[in-house]
Structure 1
Amino acid sequence: MTHLAKEFGLSDVALHKICRKHDVPNPPAGWWAKHAAGHEVQRTPLPKLKAGISGTISITGGELHNQPDSVVRSREDARVRASQFDPEVTVPQNAIVTRSMAKLRKAKPDVQGLVKISQVGLIAIEIAPASVDRIELALNRITAAAEEQGFKLRQKEKQIAFTDGTIVVPFRLKEAVRRTKHEPTAEELAKDERERKQRERRWARKDWDFTPRFGLNSRWPEWDYDPTGKVSFEFDLYLRYSSSLRRSFKDAKVQRLENMANDIAIGLAVLAAAKREDEQRAEEDRIRAEEAARRRNEAKRLAYIEERRLKVLEVAFERMEKRDRLRRLADQISDELKGTHSPRAAEFIAWLERHLEQAERDADVRGLEGLFASEDVFGSDDDKGFYPDRYGW
């Protein structure tokens, strides 16, 4: 089991699940040791195939990437589920596929020889008319294989997509076209010669109302387009972190889309798991970024508060310095006025004392409280006028 699991590119647990799902017995503990020692051991025979169960077990190719555990587990689980689906058996017709193909068969080929549909409620397809029947078969098989993985075709917004109810995975199909330089045919050359002679005759008659055609592109097309019959199935899903995951499945010389239903369905399940992982990591990054922005904003807010407080501190120093100077001046002059007759100096002292009383009120606790309230500092409104930046820069 361990050796085969490595050969198949999956874990021994996943291979054991596949065997158990298909009633394939595996040797009990110690069987291989007894066999290696030369002891006679019994091989458990395969049981009879149950009704409705395919005799084919499909183990799809694995991908070895450095990916999150959730994505790795989803791939293995998807491969286990895919092992019970045989894409070559008759699969039911999907209504969306049937409707899309009917519309495609009525469409007229464009200059490249392709018929296209992209309307609401239809699958986005761009292929040659000769590929329609084959792609219908492929899409029905892919849809059935996707249902084994828990995904259904649904219309999401304006497009058809696979969804498991939470994750939406859009897709499209497009056929490759070969472009070659157009070589004019004998008929085109003969027509061009006839037009040249007609032009010369009209000019000889001085028929100036005649407007000839000039330029190579006006006589025949510059390019020829030939659909190759090779169609690609592409999942249109943006992933920020798991960009290495396979999104495109293309026709090759041997492998064709109608035979890749299980691979595509597994790719769908893996992409959906990666999308969940992507959204979770994006949410974690968003929370971290918001926390970092909050810390930067908080540091800026504290610096803003400190700057405002320092400005108010300078005002408090000025008030106290003014009070002290007025007090010293009033005491000194009052002492000198004792026993003298100086009416103007006495009036000055009276005026000075009034200013001193005001300065003392401004410099005491109540005065400072009023200063702090007027400047909105040392309180719950300490950060008044501060507006945090969204990113904290």
Structure 2
Amino acid sequence: MYVEKTFTPQQLFEMVWERPVLIIAKEIGVSDVGLSKAYRKAGITLPTRGHWAKPAPKRPRRPKPPTSTTPITFHVLNVEKAVRLEPENVIKDPKMLIVPTELSDPHPSVKKCLSAARKAKELNNALVFDKTKVLNSHISRTEVDRCALLYDSLIKASESSGYTCGIGSNVSFVRVDGEELLITIQERIKRFDIPPPPPKPFKPGQRWEPDFAAMRAARFGREPIGVFSLIVDARSEVLIQKTWTDSKTGTLESKLGQILTGFVRTAASVKAQRSSDEASRRRRAEEERVRTERIDQQRRLDKLRQNLMRNLESWERAQGLRAFIQAAVEASPPGEATQMALAMWVSWATQQVELLDPLKVDQILAREIMLLRHVAKLEKEIDRLEGLRIVKFPKK
């Protein structure tokens, strides 16, 4: 039910400096507050308050347009699709929307609920069904019959429309288009203050003692007022009605058709929300992968720099040792025994210098070249992925 509308920062800049934010928000399909947040997040300067009330010659000059080229995407309601999803033809028989005044031939789940209500205990003036799978409700004992009548009419109308109603563990649900929507009926409980008990009379000469009974007395009371609300518990998109309440416009009995229509809207919204959540999850996973690749790349670069400095130090030591060997040869006395010992020492020292010199160890250079090529490939891949990223803003 939602679509994406994408604009460049330059387009949004031109729009906001030609018309007020309220008009632009209405055209896009978002709220003016959400649009202003998107502008500020993108670094676009907005006109000050009272800008459009001034004559054109007295208005401040436009600031410089933004330099960013990252597109900005808004999630807006698809009005045409929402109209097509209106389930007016789902309810084929208008008579099933009429709630009778008396309960006759109740649904099996309603029978079970009535039987459990007679045995249920009360807590804060509401029935508590312990370890009993019944229709989910939070009502007083005096409103059990009305709740059963509402549930009976709702379940029969839902099943006539092709929906499935059921009872789970402490939940009741209606399955619409493969989506399970948790439903419950709640009665509004009014809380009122209980005046404190009058103090006990104090006799002359009597020792004072604290009145613990007054301290432990209840401060608040609860009283059911008979106002019902039917609540659908489902993770859906915004702007979807999921609560219907007794009000001046009508009771729940007169809103049964609206409730059945709301079931279809909510089920479609749940599917759309799940699709949006999955897209967000994939986007976050891709961003996390790019971040991890960047961290790995930085670690490899740090390791290459450390190896570079270590190889430089080894090369400098090798050069110093070669100079030392040459100086030792030049300073040696000209004796046959001395020259033989010197030749052996020079041969051994030269071998050690060859092992120390990184330029003479082909394996080290090959490994460094391989790491450099791998880092170059990672940089190209990260640049490509960042070019595909789109800035997302929260729905409004």
Q: TM-score range by the shorter chain?
A: 0.5 to 0.7
Q: CA offset at residue 75 of structure 1?
A: 4.0
State how far apart, in whole Å, the 1-side matches of 2:300 and 2:360 are: 22
* RMSD between aligned residues: 4.3
Letter in 1 for 2:230: F
Find the residue that maps to 2:90 and give its secondary structure: helix
CA distance change for structure 1 residues 67 and 222 in 2, over 3 Å: closer, same or farther? same
Q: CA offset at residue 155 of structure 1?
A: 3.2
State how far apart, in whole Å, the 2-side matches of 1:254 and 1:359 are: 96
1:79 aligns with 2:76: no
State how far apart, in whole Å, the 2-side matches of 1:135 and 1:75 are: 30
Instruction: Determine the structure 2 residue equivalent to 1:250.
Output: 245
State how far apart, in whole Å, the 1-side matches of 2:270 and 2:213 are: 55
State how far apart, in whole Å, the 2-side matches of 1:231 and 1:178 are: 12
Provide the TM-score with structure 2 as the length reference: 0.60
Instruction: Determine the structure 1 residue equivalent to 2:214.
Output: 215
State how far apart, in whole Å, the 1-side matches of 2:303 and 2:76 are: 53
Find the residue that maps to 1:308 and give its secondary structure: helix
Is residue 121–residue 155 contact of structure 1 (8 Å, CA) maintained in 2? yes
Instruction: Determine the structure 2 residue equivalent to 1:315.
Output: 310
Q: CA offset at residue 71 of structure 1?
A: 7.1
State how far apart, in whole Å, the 2-side matches of 1:71 and 1:95 are: 38
CA distance change for structure 1 residues 168 and 102 in 2, over 3 Å: closer, same or farther? same
Instruction: Determine the structure 1 residue equivalent to 2:15.
Output: none
- Which contiguous aligned blocks of 4+ residues in structure 1 show a shift greater than 6 angstroms? 89-92, 370-373
State how far apart, in whole Å, the 2-side matches of 1:301 and 1:371 are: 21
Gaps of 5+ in 2: 1-74, 376-396
Find the residue that maps to 1:93 and give its secondary structure: coil
* Match of residue 228, structure 2, among 221, 228, 231: 231
State how far apart, in whole Å, the 1-side matches of 2:318 and 2:350 are: 6
Find the residue that maps to 1:122 and give its secondary structure: coil
Instruction: Determine the structure 2 residue equivalent to 1:341.
Output: 335
Q: How high is the sequence identity, in percent, across the aligned residues?
A: 16
Instruction: Determine the structure 1 residue equivalent to 2:117.
Output: 104
Instruction: Determine the structure 2 residue equivalent to 1:67.
Output: 77
Find the residue that maps to 1:123 and give its secondary structure: coil
State how far apart, in whole Å, the 1-side matches of 2:166 and 2:80 are: 25
Q: CA offset at residue 259 of structure 1?
A: 2.4
Is residue 169–residue 237 contact of structure 1 (8 Å, CA) maintained in 2? yes
* Match of residue 293, structure 2, among 293, 298, 301: 298
CA distance change for structure 1 residues 158 and 70 in 2, over 3 Å: closer, same or farther? farther
State how far apart, in whole Å, the 1-side matches of 2:80 and 2:159 are: 21
Letter in 2 for 1:265: L
- Highest Rg: 1 or 2? 1
Letter in 2 for 1:72: A
**Within-5 A mapping of 1:174-185:** 174-181=186-193
State how far apart, in whole Å, the 2-side matches of 1:183 and 1:317 are: 87
Find the residue that maps to 2:228 and give its secondary structure: strand
Q: CA offset at residue 234 of structure 1?
A: 1.0
Q: CA offset at residue 122 of structure 1?
A: 1.1
Q: CA offset at residue 372 of structure 1?
A: 7.7
Provide the TM-score with structure 1 as the length reference: 0.61
CA distance change for structure 1 residues 148 and 107 in 2, over 3 Å: closer, same or farther? same
Is residue 193–residue 221 contact of structure 2 (8 Å, CA) maintained in 1? yes
**Within-5 A mapping of 1:26-65:** none
Instruction: Determine the structure 2 residue equivalent to 1:281.
Output: 276
Letter in 2 for 1:358: Q
Is residue 155–residue 165 contact of structure 2 (8 Å, CA) maintained in 1? yes
* Match of residue 98, structure 2, among 76, 81, 88: 88
CA distance change for structure 1 residues 361 and 223 in 2, over 3 Å: closer, same or farther? closer
State how far apart, in whole Å, the 1-side matches of 2:123 and 2:323 are: 101
State how far apart, in whole Å, the 2-side matches of 1:108 and 1:171 are: 22
Name the count of aligned residue pairs: 295
Is residue 147–residue 185 contact of structure 2 (8 Å, CA) maintained in 1? no
State how far apart, in whole Å, the 2-side matches of 1:149 and 1:93 are: 18
State how far apart, in whole Å, the 2-side matches of 1:165 and 1:157 are: 22
Find the residue that maps to 1:82 and give its secondary structure: coil
Q: CA offset at residue 293 of structure 1?
A: 0.9
Q: CA offset at residue 236 of structure 1?
A: 2.0
Instruction: Determine the structure 2 residue equivalent to 1:260.
Output: 255
Q: CA offset at residue 370 of structure 1?
A: 6.2
State how far apart, in whole Å, the 1-side matches of 2:130 and 2:319 are: 86
Q: CA offset at residue 350 of structure 1?
A: 2.9
